[in-house]
């Protein structure tokens, strides 16, 4: 039981990281029909920003420095994402295949740029020592960092919810996910919402990158790509365009992966793919996704 | 006749073509509509009426000239066309089913002071149901939302596509009343199959066939059963 609790919370923590990547993917796809394969590169950018900041700018290992590095990583991810939208995606509206191809290309370009600048070997990022503490739950011990991932993801989820529910841009995004053309036919420049969605998606991915350096103890050129695959699976299971669906699916994928990997060695990834296949068969629109008309 | 030539048209289409995925749907549409009145746009199914409205809004790629009170709008994006004072009630309503009634209306706000009074006076039902998800409304109520979205703002031009399609007779009357109220302050281009309704509220009619305009005239023309049969494939002579 103790082991189950430890693993379960670790799984939820991993799911929280998947959520940070998947939330943006889901909104971007839901609103714009763009499959953004460059999203992993946003995460990696955030991770390198964290490495740089905590190694060269504020290497005191304090929680404050770490917190600042999270924000910087988020902003780096967001700026990278907005630049991507403004420089590449914008000129390919309604050419969905071309957009997907361009983002695949950008993903490759970014990965080799990271490799050229930072080398193949993962760079070590040391989180504040306090994060190495464990928390006791019953008889189980769980690393404090897990709760940090979960907390940050929960804040992002809540902020997303409030933004979507109570702001005009949120209203435009929700309407645009349902019927983009009709939003423009009401006199709204839906492209502003596109840029905004890239900004928040990139911010969440950058945050995810900062946290991933703690989870993976460092950053390498392809850190984001490994997260991207599971984030895509998460988005499909949760339903394209539904942030709450993405959150549920992220927890499902993270816990399944960690638990199965422990109890049936090495089969975690396989079972996640099985889960994906099952959802696609039984509920193709995903758990909370819009029905495709 | 001379008066009509010199009077500025509310809307004027000259040689408008629309091609979608290789099919040439509008093949040089020409017409003008008089300001301040309702003009009916008629024709059999599939002749290009909806595409004509969508080309005016800019929802389909179009070639040719489209002038709104003398100003060329064919080079504008859809949201810019709407912002120049055009309201559009699309065929099949296209309300946002996951949003509430009020959210649907809020999204449509363009003016600083949207006319919620007018809208709720016409459709008290919408005030009662303002927090209901629009997807759970009946077809008639959804049509009210679609029309309300257009009436919320002051428009120079209202484009309305088959507002009574699939509605019960009582609702047809309600929609007709709403259009009459709207007609007091805006120019309306109305696509409508319900000929008695067209006769009741339209001053002029335009008839399309196979992607071009084949007739412009008065609703009186519809009294001629032979004309109605030939142009629209229906008998329009009696009420
Ligand atoms: N998006 C589209 N793609 C291909 N063909 C279309 C599209 N929209 C309309 N059409 C075709 O264009 C023609 C005119 O359609 P439409 O303007 O809807 O006619 P109407 O409103 O007069 O019934 C029809 O033959 C229809 O099949
Ligand atoms: Mg039509």
Map tokens 């600048």 to a residue.
A117
State the Cα torsion A116-A122-A128-A132 to the nearest 10°. 160
> Is the CB of B211 inside a 6 Å radius of any atom of ligand 1?
no
Q: What pLDDT sits at residue A234?
A: 95
Judge whether A62 lies within some domain: yes
pLDDT digits (tens, 9 = 90+) for A41-84: 999 999 999 999 999 999 898 999 999 999 999 999 999 999 99
Judge whether A27 lies within some domain: yes
Judge whether A287 lies within some domain: no
Other Cβ atoms within 10 Å of A272 Cβ, number? 22
Judge whether A13 lies within some domain: yes
**Which residue in chain B is spatially nearest to A189 when comparing CA positions?**
B79
What CATH number corresponds to the domain at position A229? 1.10.3470
Judge whether A288 lies within some domain: no
CA of A87 to the centre of ligand 1 (A): 34
Q: In which order are the strands placed within the sheet that holds B212-217?
A: B86-89, B157-161, B187-191, B38-42, B204-209, B212-217
In A, which residues are within 8 Å of B152 by CB distance? none
What domains can you pick out in chain B, each with its CATH number?
Answer: 3-232 (3.40.50.300)
The predicted complex's ipTM stands at 0.90
| Residue A82 burial class via C-beta count within 10 angstroms: exposed 0-12, middle 13-18, buried 19 and up | middle
B131 touches chain A (CB under 8 A): no
Judge whether A289 lies within some domain: no
Domain count across chain A: 1
Across the interface, whether the CB atoms of A190 and B79 are under 8 A apart is answered: yes
Judge whether A291 lies within some domain: no
CA of A285 to the centre of ligand 1 (A): 28
CA of B48 to the centre of ligand 1 (A): 6
**Measured distance CA(A125)–CA(A149) in Å, rounded:** 16
Q: What pLDDT sits at residue B5?
A: 53
B230 touches chain A (CB under 8 A): no
pLDDT digits (tens, 9 = 90+) for A128-163: 888 888 888 888 888 899 999 999 999 999 999 999
> Is the CB of B43 inside a 6 Å radius of any atom of ligand 1?
yes
**Measured distance CA(A26)–CA(A177) in Å, rounded:** 10
> Is the CB of B48 inside a 6 Å radius of any atom of ligand 1?
yes
Across the interface, whether the CB atoms of A185 and B59 are under 8 A apart is answered: yes
Per-residue pLDDT of chain B (239 residues; tens, 9 = 90+): 445 555 789 999 999 999 999 999 999 999 999 999 999 999 999 999 999 999 999 999 999 999 999 999 999 999 999 999 999 999 999 999 999 999 999 999 999 999 999 999 999 999 999 999 999 999 999 999 999 999 999 999 999 999 999 888 888 998 988 998 888 888 999 999 999 999 999 999 999 999 999 999 999 888 888 888 888 876 544 44
Helical packing angle, A2-32 and A39-52, nearest 10° = 120
Q: What is the pTM of this model?
A: 0.89
- The residues near A67 (Cβ < 8 Å, ≥ 6 apart) are none
Q: Residue A59's domain spans which residues?
A: 2-282
Judge whether A290 lies within some domain: no
């Amino acid at each position: 039981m103790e082991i189950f609790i430890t693993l379960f919370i670790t799984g939820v923590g991993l799911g929280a990281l998947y959520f940070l990547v998947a939330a943006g993917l889901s909104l971007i796809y839901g609103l714009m029909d763009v499959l953004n394969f460059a999203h992993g590169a946003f995460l990696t950018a955030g991770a390198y920003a964290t490495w740089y900041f905590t190694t060269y700018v504020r290497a005191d290992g304090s929680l404050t420095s770490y917190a600042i590095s999270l924000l910087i990583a988020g902003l780096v991810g967001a700026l990278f994402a907005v630049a991507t939208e403004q420089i590449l995606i914008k000129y390919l509206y309604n050419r969905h295949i071309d957009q997907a191809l361009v983002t695949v290309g950008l993903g490759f370009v970014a990965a080799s740029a990271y490799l050229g600048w930072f080398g193949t070997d993962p760079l070590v990022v040391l989180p504040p020592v306090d994060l190495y503490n464990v928390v006791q739950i019953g008889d189980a011990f769980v690393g404090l960092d897990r709760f940090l991932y979960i907390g940050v993801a929960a804040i992002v989820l809540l902020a997303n919810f409030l933004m979507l529910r109570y702001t005009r841009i949120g209203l435009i995004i929700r309407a645009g996910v349902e019927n983009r053309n009709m939003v423009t036919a009401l006199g709204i420049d839906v492209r502003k919402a596109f840029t905004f969605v890239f900004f928040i998606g990139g911010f969440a991915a950058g945050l995810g990158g900062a946290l991933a350096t703690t989870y993976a103890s460092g950053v390498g050129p392809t850190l984001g790509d490994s997260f991207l695959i599971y984030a895509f699976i998460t988005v499909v299971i949760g339903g394209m365009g539904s942030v709450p669906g993405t959150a549920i699916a992220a927890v499902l994928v993270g816990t399944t992966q960690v638990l199965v990997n422990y109890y049936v060695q090495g089969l975690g990834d396989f079972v996640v793919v099985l889960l994906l296949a099952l959802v696609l068969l039984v509920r193709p629109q995903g758990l909370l996704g819009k029905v495709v008309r | 006749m001379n008066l009509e030539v010199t009077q500025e048209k509310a809307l004027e289409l000259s040689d408008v073509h629309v091609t979608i995925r290789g099919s040439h749907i509008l093949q040089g549409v020409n017409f003008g509509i008089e300001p301040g009145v309702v003009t009916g746009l008629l024709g059999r199914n599939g002749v290009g009426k909806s595409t004509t409205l969508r080309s005016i809004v800019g929802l389909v790629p179009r070639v040719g000239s489209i002038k709104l009170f003398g100003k060329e709008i064919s080079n504008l994006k859809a949201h810019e066309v709407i912002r120049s004072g055009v309201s559009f009630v699309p065929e099949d309503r296209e309300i946002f089913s996951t949003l509430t009634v009020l959210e649907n209306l809020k999204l449509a706000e363009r003016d600083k002071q949207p006319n919620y009074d007018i809208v709720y006076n016409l459709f008290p039902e919408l005030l009662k149901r303002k927090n209901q998800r629009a997807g759970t409304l009946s077809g008639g109520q959804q049509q009210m939302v679609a029309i309300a979205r257009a009436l919320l703002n002051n428009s120079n031009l209202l484009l309305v596509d088959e507002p009574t399609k699939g509605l019960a007779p009582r609702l047809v009357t309600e929609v007709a009343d709403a259009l009459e109220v709207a007609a007091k302050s805006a120019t309306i281009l109305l696509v409508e199959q319900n000929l008695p309704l067209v006769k009741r509220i339209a001053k002029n009619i335009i008839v399309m066939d196979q992607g071009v305009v084949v007739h412009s005239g008065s609703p009186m023309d519809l009294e001629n059963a032979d004309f109605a049969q030939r142009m629209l494939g229906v008998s329009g002579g009696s009420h």
